[in-house]
Amino acid sequence: MTDAELLDVAAEAAERSYSPYSHFRVGAAVVTDAGEVVTGANIENAAFGASICAEANAITNAIGGGARAIAVVAVVCLDGELCTPCGNCRQIMREFQVERIVLSSPDGSPVAVTVEDLLPMSFGPEALRE
């Protein structure tokens, strides 16, 4: 699947966003280490701390389904802005060895980055396994 196609899948997921407070609709599509595509959308809550980001939703769906690593995460915001993952999602991506993150630029073209680009000098699970 190309980056552009993966962003299209993420955009479809964003259509299912539950965002009655912010109206900021975000979708994510992840490719697992086995090549499976799993999606998620942001789900808000009146108690804001109970909200979940699209990226975390997609990754936890994939991990709960049996994946142990995520190869690619694609993120789309339907408002047309470049939308980068929050710090919590960056750490979740680090935990599950995400190799590449594909973001949708304002014109819709893919922008690929790495976890290291977004979370330099990070702390990961290998530190606990040594």
Pairing of strands 100-104, 26-32: unpaired
Q: Which residues are catalytic?
A: 55
- Burial level of 85, CB count in 10 A (0-12/13-18/19+)? buried
Q: Closest by alpha carbon to 104, among 85, 80, 87?
A: 80
